[in-house]
Structure 1
Amino acid sequence: MSKVSLRYRLEWIAVRAAVGLFRLLGRARAAAFAGWLARKIGPRLGVHRLARENMRMALPHLTATQVEETLARMWDNLGRNVGEIPFNREILSDTDTVEIVGGEYLDEYLESGKAAFFVTAHYGPWELVALVGRRLGARATGIYRAANNPLVEEYFQEMRADPNYRFVPKGNEGARTIVKAARSGGAIVLLNDQKLNSGIAVPFFGREAMTAPAVAEIACKMDVPVYPMRAERLDGGRRRLTIYPALDIPATGDRPTDVYAMLKAINEVFERWITERPDHWFWVHNRWS
């Protein structure tokens, strides 16, 4: 067994052990424990400094104390996301603690017969966006970033599998899926807030950030509506998924200008959400440099 495969197998064993522990604890206690653990460990990691620098740059109005308090809540949210992984199917089916706002925009899409993008960020309990897939059924496909470890990836997909909602990893397969869906009236659910080195430099909190262009390119070329959506944690363990009206699609006749304007509009939506609830965003990502 090679060193790499041994590492992957050890990671897989650790993940399975953690998931087993979470299942024994139950949904609420697993989320609370994982949140507590992340608050304790996260600030000791090197990426905590990156998160602090990112937040200070993007939200200069926050005091040093507010930054640290917000980062602690960010780690809590990230930990809870991990602790809830074994229970995602259960959470998606829990109508008592999960609400959808803006469901009329899902109906609007269904009635149109057209393709559509439903875009979000690594924000709050972002796995909740799978509710869109459940509501839209076979017409929807979620695009995600696959885990580097193939054993862990297969295990996650077993837990995530839903007969009514397909998941496709980013990359060549994801790109083909997006184009096919745009041509056939499908709905694509994806997170579009992370850095893509080969993307387009677009302002994000006042600094240029390399941004994946596929959503805007297809939206502008094929007149595909783009619906922003965000998942939030509420008091008492409740969650909310909000779907917003489709963004205006620029139509100046100059494609590069229109694509840039579309991406800028999407980034501005994310900026508003993050400013409202900065603890909900994934600040540990190297978004700008």
Structure 2
Amino acid sequence: MKKVSLKYRLEWIAVRIVMAIFRLLGRKNAASFGGWLARKIGPRLGVHRVARENMTTALPHLTGREVEENLMRMWENLGRNVGEIPFNRDILSDTESVEIVGEEYLDAYLDSGKSAFFVTAHYGPWELVALVGRRLGARATGIYRAANNPLVEDFFQEMRADPNYSFVPKGNEGARTILKAARNGGAIVLLNDQKLNNGLAVPFFGRDAMTAPAVAEISYKMDVPIYPMRAERLEGGRRRFTIYPALDVPKTGDKATDVYALLKAINETYELWITERPDHWFWVHNRWS
């Protein structure tokens, strides 16, 4: 067994304590406490400046006051996401508090027998993307970014484990899983809105952003449809999860042109969602530099 540093062990202990406190508080109180705490701590962190710069540049129509209000709600959303971690499986099973829109597109995918991508952004209560995995069962695999700390990673996977839905970390294993699913009628669920240093420069809110090309390349080469999906917070602790129709895949015959156009369409989809609800996106990520 690989030796784990003292720093990682201390982080693991701290995470377990925090998650235990959240569980003791109960789902509703844990989410509220997480949101309150994030609003108190978030604006004091260096990344708050990054988030302000990102939002101000991407959404110049917002006034300074609107930017600050949206940033505070962003922190609350992130805090609520953390507070809800111990309860994610309960939330996924709570048909009373989660509204699902666009289930017909899941049915169309199942009837087709083809492979498919289901893509989303770090937007709202994004752990709801696991609903697609639960609905599709063994045909679906979620691709995620593993925690740097292996002890924390194992702990999170214990809480996330679902006998009907598998998770695979990004990297070589994730790439192999995606190709296998594309060849065998599987569904890949992933968040693909973050920066990839060796990706393609594609416009995002008017500025080039290094964008992971794999989804578009596989879609183009193997005729795999891409279904956007987004999770939103509603009043009274409710949530809405929407699956949208598959994006049109350009077919000019020029691979580079078509892949670029498809990536641009994905980014534009996220732009619409973020413009509609700026507080829902993960602005602290330095998407453009």
- Which residue number in structure 2 is paired with residue 187 of structure 1? 187
Aligned-CA RMSD value: 1.0
Q: How far apart, CA to CA, are the structure 1 residues paired with 2:145 and 2:100?
A: 25
Question: How much does 1:99 deviate?
Answer: 1.4
- Which residue number in structure 2 is paired with residue 45 of structure 1? 45
Question: How much does 1:4 deviate?
Answer: 6.8
Q: How far apart, CA to CA, are the structure 2 residues paired with 1:3 and 1:28?
A: 38
Q: Which amino acid aligns with 1:229?
A: M
Gaps of 5+ in 2: none
Q: Which amino acid aligns with 1:96?
A: E
- Which residue number in structure 2 is paired with residue 63 of structure 1? 63
Per-residue Cα deviation, 1:72-94 (whole angstroms, up to 9, x for no partner): 00000000000000000000000
Q: Which amino acid aligns with 1:232?
A: E
- Which residue number in structure 2 is paired with residue 197 of structure 1? 197
- Which residue number in structure 2 is paired with residue 249 of structure 1? 249
The aligned runs of 1:97-246 (5 Å cut-off) are 97-246=97-246
- Which residue number in structure 2 is paired with residue 13 of structure 1? 13
Q: How far apart, CA to CA, are the structure 2 residues paired with 1:3 and 1:23?
A: 30
* Matched residue SS, 1:198: coil
Q: Which amino acid aligns with 2:135?
A: R
The aligned runs of 1:17-32 (5 Å cut-off) are 17-32=17-32
Q: How far apart, CA to CA, are the structure 2 residues paired with 1:101 and 1:25?
A: 30
* Matched residue SS, 1:195: coil
Per-residue Cα deviation, 1:106-126 (whole angstroms, up to 9, x for no partner): 000000000000000000000
Q: Which amino acid aligns with 1:81?
A: N
Q: How far apart, CA to CA, are the structure 1 residues paired with 2:132 and 2:160?
A: 14
Q: How far apart, CA to CA, are the structure 1 residues paired with 2:225 and 2:26?
A: 39
Q: How far apart, CA to CA, are the structure 1 residues paired with 2:3 and 2:261?
A: 47
Q: How far apart, CA to CA, are the structure 1 residues paired with 2:262 and 2:85?
A: 33
Q: How far apart, CA to CA, are the structure 1 residues paired with 2:15 and 2:280?
A: 24
Q: How far apart, CA to CA, are the structure 2 residues paired with 1:133 and 1:99?
A: 16
Q: How far apart, CA to CA, are the structure 1 residues paired with 2:106 and 2:5?
A: 43
Q: Which amino acid aligns with 2:137?
A: G
Q: How far apart, CA to CA, are the structure 2 residues paired with 1:220 and 1:265?
A: 13
Question: How much does 1:171 deviate?
Answer: 0.3
- Which residue number in structure 2 is paired with residue 85 of structure 1? 85
Aligned residues, how many?
288
- Which residue number in structure 1 is paired with residue 282 of structure 2? 282
Q: How far apart, CA to CA, are the structure 1 residues paired with 2:4 and 2:45?
A: 23
Q: How far apart, CA to CA, are the structure 1 residues paired with 2:44 and 2:12?
A: 24
Q: Which amino acid aligns with 1:279?
A: D
Question: How much does 1:98 deviate?
Answer: 0.6
Q: How far apart, CA to CA, are the structure 1 residues paired with 2:56 and 2:220?
A: 34
- Runs of 4+ in structure 1 deviating by more than 6 angstroms, as ranges, are none
Per-residue Cα deviation, 1:182-225 (whole angstroms, up to 9, x for no partner): 00000000001000001000000000000000100000001100
Per-residue Cα deviation, 1:2-41 (whole angstroms, up to 9, x for no partner): 9971000000000000000000000000000000000000
- Residues 1:264 and 1:46: Cα distance change in structure 2 (over 3 Å): same
Alignment of 1:271 with 2:259, yes or no, is no
Q: How far apart, CA to CA, are the structure 2 residues paired with 1:82 and 1:202?
A: 31
| Percent of paired sites with the same residue | 83
Q: How far apart, CA to CA, are the structure 2 residues paired with 1:241 and 1:179?
A: 27
TM-score by length of 2: 0.99
Gaps of 5+ in 1: none
